[in-house]
Amino acid sequence: MNILIVDDERLIVKGIKSSLEVQGYNVYTAYTGYEALDIISREKVDFIILDLMLPDIDGMMLCKKIRENNDTPIIMLTAKDGDYDKILGFELGADDYMTKPFNMLELIARIKAILRRSESNKSPSTIQFNDLVISHEERKVYVKGEEVNLTQKEFDMLYLMARNPGRVFTREEIFNHIWSEEPVDVRTIDVHIKNLREKIEENAKKPKFIMTKWGVGYYFNKS
């Protein structure tokens, strides 16, 4: 996932960039509004952290300009703490607002929360692969027309992989998506995968849906 940081304070950019890269994100940086627009025009940007005070374009106007062409999630950063700025930021399309100085863990938590909402809004309500049907609205899974009883975590893991068929998720990535926190013991993912296979696969030892990429993680078979 690609995140763009737009801020003219280089030390702040360096700190945010380092923290996000530890989380596994790919990070672009821009120190002016025009640099940001150039990056957005050339690269696939999934999330934007945008400072209100920029040397060339006002952050509010940049937010408005970005919103003219895409709905990329935006968190605005500012040294100001006025309600007027927050209200205007939201009206121009910002998804969230943080005042400097801020806690980096809180920023990361807010990014993840916004991304989850964004993914949920874009996700299909029903996914079907052969005789496996996953209903997101009902939060139910059917195999050959029969409902399969899954736990909440099992359903979330299955839906995450099924809506991204072919993409390999590491155990850490699955843990971060489902638990929304730093991994404590990623071996719990193996247990959930084993249980899922026993419930949805015709032969859990020779799965046709949830596949293993040895040494990397798991993926949903798209073929």
Kindly list the domain boundaries of the chain, sorted by start residue.
Answer: 2-121, 124-220
> What pLDDT, on a 0 to 100 scale, did the predictor assign at position 120?
60
Tell me if 28 sits within 8 A of 13, measured CB to CB: no
> What pLDDT, on a 0 to 100 scale, did the predictor assign at position 192?
92
User: What is the separation of C-alpha 26 from the centre of its chain, rounded to a whole number of angstroms?
Assistant: 12
Find tokens 């939060």 and name the residue. 139
> What pLDDT, on a 0 to 100 scale, did the predictor assign at position 121?
61
> What pLDDT, on a 0 to 100 scale, did the predictor assign at position 97?
86
Please tell me whether the peptide bond between 101 and the residue prior to it is cis, using omega within 30 degrees of 0: yes
User: pTM higher than 0.85 for the full model?
Assistant: no
> What pLDDT, on a 0 to 100 scale, did the predictor assign at position 180?
58
pLDDT tens-digit map of 74-106: 999 987 665 656 666 677 778 888 888 889 999
92 Cβ contact list (under 8 Å, min separation 6): 60, 63, 64, 67
Is the domain spanning 2-121 CATH 3.40.50.740? The answer is no
pLDDT tens-digit map of 142-151: 999 999 999 9
> What pLDDT, on a 0 to 100 scale, did the predictor assign at position 179?
75
Using 70 as the pLDDT threshold, list the residues of the chain that sit under it. Answer: 80-89, 119-124, 180-184
Architecture field, domain 124-220: Orthogonal Bundle (1.10)
- The 10 Å Cβ neighbour count of residue 7 is 23
Q: Which two three-digit tokens encode residue 145?
A: 């027309």
Tell me if 33 sits within 8 A of 56, measured CB to CB: yes
Q: Which two three-digit tokens encode residue 47?
A: 């999330």
> What pLDDT, on a 0 to 100 scale, did the predictor assign at position 114?
87
> What pLDDT, on a 0 to 100 scale, did the predictor assign at position 71?
83
